[in-house]
Amino acid sequence: MAEIEFWYEFASTYSYPAAMRVEKVAAPKGVAVRWRPFLLGPIFGAQGWTDSPFNLYPAKGRNMWRDLERICEAEDLPLKQPPFRFPQNGLKAARIALAGVTDGWTPAFTRAVYTANFAEQKDIADDGVLATILGKLGVDAEHAVSAANSSDNKQALKAQTEEAIARGIYGTPSFLVADELFWGNDRLEQAVTWAGK
């Protein structure tokens, strides 16, 4: 079956609409989605950025939020900026998302975390917020968090980020179809078409 890899970071604004619609765009074309959470922080850090470019460059940041409003309106997605901090810290959520791949709840967990971050103004680094999300999905939170914090899983997340860098990823969301890289929520349709070729 044709496949796209969906690479995302929980702090990333444009990954929110991408996560909410990736399956809806891919499924009708017979394309499977492989969900690949990772951390963008180390990549940005290596470029000398100590903060999101949307904070470092205020004009760019202002227009990103306006653009995201227009996108979410068109997609009928709620949008509220995290009031306390942007970008939020997605480390714990990324570890949990990666730990869920084997059991198959990563996509639903991912969508719920993005909703918490960009629609519900919740702190996605808060253990209680993450446990509640897992509970609602019928996942044993204690077990999932324990698996997330195992040294194997922590190492796997680091390897995930290293793989992202090695394969040319520099921002999120990114889509990979074998070696073909597409960057941005607005390239999703193109990536799916490419996968179906």
Residue 164 contacts residue 38 (beta carbons within 8 Å): yes
- Span of 7-15, 33-41, 125-133, 179-187 interacting with a second copy by CB under 8 A: 179-187
160 near a second copy, rule: CB under 8 A: no
The Cα 106–Cα 37 span in angstroms is 9
CA dist 107 and 139 (Å) reads 13
CB closer to a second copy, 88 vs 185? 185
Answer for which of 29, 60, 136, 143 binds a second copy (CB under 8 A) is 60
Nearest to 126 by CA among 116, 136, 139, 111: 116
Does the protein bind a second copy through residue 150 (CB under 8 A)?
no
The residue type of 190 is: Q
Given a contact cutoff of 8 angstroms between Cβ atoms, the answer to whether 187 and 128 are in contact is no
Sole window of 80-88, 89-97, 101-109, 178-186 interacting with a second copy (rule: CB under 8 A): 178-186
Binding-site residue total for a second copy (CB under 8 A)?
20
| CA dist., res. 149 & res. 1, Å (int) | 32
Question: Tokens for 125?
Answer: 């680094």
Part of the chain binding a second copy (CB under 8 A), chosen from 1-9, 57-65, 94-102, 141-149: 57-65
Position 42 contacts a second copy (CB under 8 A):
no
Which one among 96, 169, 192, 195 touches a second copy, defined by CB under 8 A? 169
Q: 78 vs 168, which CB is nearer to a second copy?
A: 168
Extended strands (E) in 30-139: 32-37
Interface with a second copy includes 120 (CB under 8 A)? Answer: no
Report the candidate in 149, 130, 159, 153 with the shortest Cα–Cα distance to residue 42. Answer: 159
Point out which residues bind a second copy (CB under 8 A).
47, 57, 59-60, 62-63, 66-67, 70, 165, 168-171, 181-183, 186-187, 190
